[in-house]
Amino acid sequence: MERDFPETPALVLGASGGSGTRVAGQLLRAAGGYLGGARNESEDSLALVAAIDVLAARGERLLEGGRPEEADLALWRAALTEHLALHAGEPFWGWKNPRSMFLLPFSVALVPGLRFIHMVRDGRDMALSGNRRQYERHVPEGPGTPADRARFWAESNLRVKRHAEAVLGDRYAILRFEDLCRDPEGCMARLGRQFGLRLEPAGAGIEIRPPDGVGRHRALPAADRAAVEAAVAPAMEAFGY
């Protein structure tokens, strides 16, 4: 398939919904990156939302192996082309959408040299997040318990991590939300060094305050908290918590 996207580096940000990707997207734009000409309040490119809705579940299955269908690649290519309509030669381009992590098989096939930032947030707190859109779209059986949502967080993020490490190598980076809150400029500088991009001074004019939800899992009854902690334990260790 023809590949004619910009030759400047492409950087993609994905995560479980509610992990803090909005502020990370703001930092990337402050660093001079192009993340789409029309974006919603969450910093997601409007040109990509419909295609992501169609492709996310298919891409999630491909994380375990397999080749993307040509029709799906064509759909994603058309969406990316629309997304780039207002690109004006910025030093790097890309997009931010939590479910971008499930579209890695399509994105890697179309965009040479793609870098991927995998943003994660404490899975115990994510189990209680009010942002459940991703869970509800990928686990249609029902709202689930905190332990169910914790298990989905752990399994999906570990699946993405394994796939990204295998196909991207050092073009894959993990960004923890808690680290970004403590030291945004340091986190962006680290990503810039890894990816060979100038991402600082990224924090200009953007204040990051840890949200009230940090540590909310501690309010769970003891049995529920234990179930959540057991569900997230393998992923928490893998992501350095």
| Interatomic CA distance for residues 2 and 40, integer angstroms | 29
Residue pointed to by tokens 């059986």: 141
CA nearest to 15, candidates 175, 149, 137:
175
Distance of CA 97 to CAs 53, 171, 200, 201, 240, Å? 11, 18, 22, 23, 23
Task: Return averaged pLDDT per consecutive 10 residues of the chain, 241 residues in all.
Answer: 77 93 92 95 95 96 96 97 95 96 97 96 84 78 82 95 98 96 90 93 63 68 87 95 92
Would you tell me how many other CB atoms lie within 10 Å of the CB of residue 71? 8
CA nearest to 208, candidates 19, 33, 20:
20
For the stretch 101-153, pLDDT in tens is 999 999 999 999 999 999 999 999 888 776 777 877 888 776 678 888 899 99
